[in-house]
Structure 1
């Protein structure tokens, strides 16, 4: 497809360890089209960040094993690309906003110099033209005095300002795909809302596809067009953001939404999903979620596969989808 930016099909990845392997990704499939903002949600250990890091080939190449599947960026085979090809793609074709900007930015170099170097690495612009480009990017991020900020070091700026600079840096070479790995986790709610709005506005204005990783359903509801819910290295539900949030089918999705604080019930105990994510080196047979699931039954002894449900093109990997049960 002409508008397809990222394609992941039937991908299985494991990390070899002593006397076995850790099955990190289990037959996952997802795609992102140009201009889309697609969310990936789930608990820690569900495989979200591994999927993101693999899309940029930032995982040490000899530390993992691809058991099956493919991963393509703009039709280019990422899994079999050379390191030289990946260096050319990073920044220009695919960029990333990390969770903590203080560790992502070089603390010993001024902001302007860092962004200028990235731009000149991937374009023929002169130093003066690159600096002008940086000024424009910082202005787009609603930074009031970009000339002053360019001369600052990262540790001289607030967390919200550093994250705006990370967004500007990510968009500096107009990539086809931007990966945002929990970019607002370390920010307070007010600054978080501002950063999310800027990210969404810039992505829509440039037509950049965004893979937005989070564990927070409230955050993805503000920015994402579609959602993939991951659990234990598998995609267990997908669909439009409104559909998944308003009518979740998988018991895990229902549980995640139930954990969202409700302002209408003060002093009440915050619900949680019981149990923990299973050991990825010793995944249970059948459905990986069944030990924590309130709807588990005999069929859960077998592995469920994604299938279409409802009227909104949602897909769910569950033997007992909740909305179907409700509608019977």
Structure 2
């Protein structure tokens, strides 16, 4: 049995627009192994959510074009799989936790009805057995009065409770991979921490792999084993989470971490990365970050490949990696 749950290899994806294309993913390569919790982090527009949606083939058919690359999910080539096959795999083998549960849950149907239907869709259980499993999952998510919550509608629950329902729903059919697309963004810090702990505990207990999408390095540091940093549709640095967070080597990773609120001083402006993200319809030649980079040099007019950096599993796409010069 392969140790890889999800493997994205050298994928170049674009969205056709009037007189051009938006190059959303540019030769993206990443891997998640069994039992791993892996983070993907970057600014808005970096390609994080497109990567997540592609991994489940949830992008609308005909809306995008794959120029190159492969996506292998649990031993299956999903780019060439039929939609019927994908419907069988979604939920049962791979599940998703969306950013906003109020749009993911049906507001006109009770929580219990939605959960039992999903469970029975993928498992041969009676209605009563599916109901008991749903209640048990809600209790694992530390939802008080789980039986009573089963009879409620989504709008009757708080944001934190709705997100716990979404996590319970994702684990309901015992998938091998869960993709969480910024699931705590809309929550306050205290509730966010509670939800992250529940997600991590359940994933570890069940051996489920997790692909966690976030723009927040602090959140990733609490949850993930490894992290991929994306910029302008490309992976620019990857490695073990604590190593990358405390010793980033790509100038973009360094800048991203220095902009974090916890790095700031009282009554002082937070530092910012100068410039703006490049237009994905007209990407600059060479390194996409070079016009904003403090370390840019003559080689940056050529596109750097993602290469090993150091003795650990770190990889970086940079001609001038900073090595030990910056500790965050």
TM-score under structure 2 length normalisation: 0.97
Question: Which residue matches 1:29?
Answer: 29
- Matches of 1:166 and 1:240, distance apart in 2: 28
Question: Which residue matches 1:78?
Answer: 78
Query: Deviations along 1:288-325, whole A, 9 cap, x unmatched?
Result: 00111111111111101111112322100001101166
Question: Which residue matches 1:224?
Answer: 224
Q: Is 1:266 equivalent to 2:261 in the alignment?
A: no
The alignment's C-alpha RMSD in Å is 1.3
Query: Deviations along 1:31-73, whole A, 9 cap, x unmatched?
Result: 1011100000000000000010011111111111111110011
Question: Which residue matches 2:20?
Answer: 20
1:124–1:290 distance in 2 versus 1, CA, 3 Å? same
Note the 1:143-222 alignment, pairs <5 A.
143-222=143-222
Query: Deviations along 1:124-153, whole A, 9 cap, x unmatched?
Result: 101000000001100100111100100000
Asked if the contact 1:243–1:312 (Cα under 8 Å) also holds between the matched residues in 2, the reply is no
- Matches of 2:264 and 2:273, distance apart in 1: 21
Which 10-residue stretch deviates more, 307-316 or 237-246?
307-316
Note the 1:60-139 alignment, pairs <5 A.
60-139=60-139
1:68–1:256 distance in 2 versus 1, CA, 3 Å? same
Question: Which residue matches 1:238?
Answer: 238
Runs of 4+ in 1 over 3 A off after TM superposition: 324-327
Report deviation, 1:183: 0.5
- Matches of 1:140 and 1:207, distance apart in 2: 15
- Matches of 2:191 and 2:59, distance apart in 1: 31
Question: Which residue matches 2:285?
Answer: 285
Q: Any idea what SS the aligned residue of 1:281 has?
A: coil
1:126–1:281 distance in 2 versus 1, CA, 3 Å? same
Query: Deviations along 1:59-103, whole A, 9 cap, x unmatched?
Result: 111111111110011110111100000000110011100111111
- Matches of 1:90 and 1:307, distance apart in 2: 33
Q: Any idea what SS the aligned residue of 2:261 has?
A: coil
- Matches of 2:268 and 2:145, distance apart in 1: 45
Asked if the contact 1:237–1:317 (Cα under 8 Å) also holds between the matched residues in 2, the reply is yes
**Corresponding pairs, count:** 327
Q: Which runs of 5+ in 1 are unaligned?
A: none
Q: Which runs of 5+ in 2 are unaligned?
A: none
TM-score under structure 1 length normalisation: 0.97
